Structure 1
Amino acid sequence: MEYYLQLIINGLVVGSIYSLVALGFVIIYKATKVVNFAQGELVMVGAYMCFSLTVQFQIPFLLAFVMTLGFSVILGMAIERMILRPLIGEPIISVIMVTVGLSSVLKALVQMFWGTQLRAYPPVLPQEPVFIAGLPISPVYIAAFVLSVVLFAIFSAFFKYSSVGIAMRATAQDQQAAQSMGIGIKNIFALSWCIAAVVSSIGGVILGNINGINSQLGHLGLKVFPAVILGGLDSLLGAALGGLIIGVLENIGDGLAKDILGLGGFREVAAFVILVLILMIRPYGLFGTEEIERV
């Protein structure tokens, strides 16, 4: 029982990171109706940038973290202005394919500057585990979960109460109506990419402190995609819950596969097995908006 409780706790931590990255997927989709397949590479770039500032330039971690967020804002704005804005009005599939190409470019740049070997962050928090209900939990796990919950609460309040957040929700609902009310659609698009880059970088830094980083970190975007589908592509709450559910099911499924079947590596495919089941039962996810066409 303690073993499976530990799996659930680890799944909640990993799932909270999935939720952050899924939030970036949802924000871009809500604003532009585009699925960003470079989301995982944004996670990787943010993680490597913070690592480089901390280890190579010997900048204190907190300052390096803030500088990484600033870099993420600039990166998100540059991607939207130089790559995606010229594609406004083009078929959605063309924009999606551009994000696929962007993911390859970002991965190649990371391998060019930092290589492919595993790199570890210097310890930021104490290494001694904290015992909760008799279970040893690493302080970095607790910090990761708390930070993810706090950030989700902040973004939820931002979208619900701030004028900019309301403008983004209006743009997602109806771009033409929002533009007729004086909302700058292009600025909303740029802001959505900036926010997506920021939350991705935060997720990358958290993961880097837990498991280290390498050039395969970009694959996280594909692992998070089932969480986005489960919650619904246009639901912030769905992104949060979907990430937590996928994280827990992934860890428990991997544990059961090892104990009962003696199979290892199920964790790598668990999310995609869940994705197939989701699409068979609820194609629009738990909280997604079902589109009904009348003829």
Structure 2
Amino acid sequence: MNTELLLQLTVNGLIVGLLYGVIAMCFVLIYKSTQVVNFAQGEFLLIGAWVCWGTLVWLDLPFYIGFLLTLGFMTLFGILIQAVFLRPMIGEPIISVIMITIGLSMFFQSLMKWIFGVSAESYPQVFETSVVNIAGLNIELAYILSLIFSVVMMAGFYWFFKHSRMGLAMRATAFDQQVASSLGISVSKVFAASWAISAMVSATAGIVIGMVNGVSSALSFIGIKVFPAVILGGLDSIVGGVVGGVIIGLLENLAEFIDSQYLHIGNLYTIAPFYILLIILTIKPYGLFGTRDIERI
């Protein structure tokens, strides 16, 4: 057995899994506050990655300026999406709202291809070295940054929901929108804030992944790829999203090791999360930390 390869893939799986966990938290954030599953989450990654790439290549700006401009743009973008497309859908059946997010996903996919083309593009050299050696393992510097980013985001989410005024308002809205409204909480502002935060954080994850793998329409597939992590952890659990992301990240890299060393199927890395999704939905449909919703007829 190639122990060195297994260790390398395990470390990569842990780092990527934490990044999946951050994206899963964005899924959960929107679902908890609005009861909507956002199937355009992957497009938030794609748009953020392309916008940052455009500021670096077309505008020739330094990375940190392009990064900050992208975060500001995506914050406004998330608010705009919620105000224009989703606020008018308040009170409509949930399935109608979900179909809106699917339609937005397809629209933004096509729009990004029209603006930026269909070819994958690489980010300009941001750091002097792209790979660092730690204990004999070669790790992409962008992955190290993603690890730091993931930990900071998780700590930030914890503080936000525990101590900030808007975080507490979001928790109250997630518990009961009508009660939250009666307490003076602006539910519409909570909805807008949840979409803005989700878009901004997802864009950051898209930039990190784009720095490693380049930017193309395939980047949006990460949003679908993270969905098994959300279901595994529990659709309404922030902690579950993080745990589910780490588990899926480790499992898909373990699948790559088994495939490369023994099975030689060729695409097990890609499809493994969805096998896990089928098993989860069969055995524990509410996930590891999800709230079991019992309906009586």
Q: Which TM class, normalised by the smaller chain length?
A: over 0.9
Alpha-carbon offset, residue 99 of structure 1: 0.3
Q: Deviations over 1:32-55 (max 9, x none)?
A: 101000000111000000000011
The answer to whether the Cα contact below 8 Å between 1:125 and 1:140 also exists between their aligned partners in 2 is no
What's the secondary structure of 1:130's corresponding residue?
Answer: strand
The answer to whether the Cα contact below 8 Å between 1:36 and 1:99 also exists between their aligned partners in 2 is yes
Give the gaps of 5 or more residues in structure 1: none
Q: d(CA) in 2 for partners of 1:137 and 1:122?
A: 19
The match for 1:65 is 67
The answer to whether the Cα contact below 8 Å between 2:140 and 2:212 also exists between their aligned partners in 1 is no
| One-letter amino acid matched to 1:269 | I
Q: d(CA) in 1 for partners of 2:87 and 2:245?
A: 30
- Tell whether 2:214 aligns with 1:212: yes
| One-letter amino acid matched to 1:81 | A
- Tell whether 2:246 aligns with 1:244: yes
1:94-105 residue pairs with structure 2 within 5 A?
94-105=96-107
The match for 1:274 is 276
The answer to whether the Cα contact below 8 Å between 1:126 and 1:139 also exists between their aligned partners in 2 is no
| One-letter amino acid matched to 1:133 | A
| One-letter amino acid matched to 1:62 | Y
Q: d(CA) in 1 for partners of 2:164 and 2:285?
A: 31
Choose from 287, 290, 293 the match for 1:291. Answer: 293
Give the gaps of 5 or more residues in structure 2: none
Q: d(CA) in 1 for partners of 2:5 and 2:282?
A: 31
- Tell whether 2:81 aligns with 1:90: no
Q: d(CA) in 1 for partners of 2:263 and 2:139?
A: 27
Q: d(CA) in 2 for partners of 1:91 and 1:136?
A: 49
Alpha-carbon offset, residue 282 of structure 1: 1.2
Say which is worse superposed, 261-270 or 127-136, in terms of deviation.
127-136
Choose from 23, 26, 37 the match for 1:21. Answer: 23
| One-letter amino acid matched to 1:172 | A
Q: d(CA) in 1 for partners of 2:90 and 2:239?
A: 28
| One-letter amino acid matched to 1:47 | A
Q: d(CA) in 2 for partners of 1:179 and 1:48?
A: 38
Q: d(CA) in 2 for partners of 1:78 and 1:113?
A: 20
The match for 2:117 is 115
The answer to whether the Cα contact below 8 Å between 1:156 and 1:236 also exists between their aligned partners in 2 is no
Alpha-carbon offset, residue 241 of structure 1: 1.2
| One-letter amino acid matched to 1:86 | P
| One-letter amino acid matched to 1:281 | I
Alpha-carbon offset, residue 134 of structure 1: 2.4
The answer to whether the Cα contact below 8 Å between 1:23 and 1:199 also exists between their aligned partners in 2 is no
Alpha-carbon offset, residue 258 of structure 1: 2.0
Q: Deviations over 1:215-265 (max 9, x none)?
A: 121111110100100111111111111111101100111210221112211
Choose from 202, 205, 210 the match for 1:203. Answer: 205
| One-letter amino acid matched to 2:162 | K
| One-letter amino acid matched to 1:232 | G
The match for 2:187 is 185
Q: Deviations over 1:127-165 (max 9, x none)?
A: 263332322222222111111111111111101111110
| One-letter amino acid matched to 1:238 | G
Alpha-carbon offset, residue 292 of structure 1: 2.0
The answer to whether the Cα contact below 8 Å between 1:232 and 1:284 also exists between their aligned partners in 2 is yes
Say which is worse superposed, 128-137 or 264-273, in terms of deviation.
128-137
Choose from 24, 29, 35 the match for 2:37. Answer: 35
Say which is worse superposed, 69-78 or 119-128, in terms of deviation.
119-128
Q: d(CA) in 2 for partners of 1:293 and 1:95?
A: 22
Alpha-carbon offset, residue 294 of structure 1: 4.1
Report the TM-score, using the length of structure 1 for normalisation: 0.97
Q: d(CA) in 2 for partners of 1:216 and 1:54?
A: 20
Structure 1 ranges of 4+ moved more than 3 A: none
- Tell whether 2:157 aligns with 1:155: yes
Say which is worse superposed, 76-85 or 119-128, in terms of deviation.
119-128
Report the TM-score, using the length of structure 2 for normalisation: 0.97
Alpha-carbon offset, residue 126 of structure 1: 3.4
Q: d(CA) in 2 for partners of 1:163 and 1:176?
A: 18
Choose from 229, 232, 238 the match for 1:230. Answer: 232
The answer to whether the Cα contact below 8 Å between 2:230 and 2:245 also exists between their aligned partners in 1 is yes
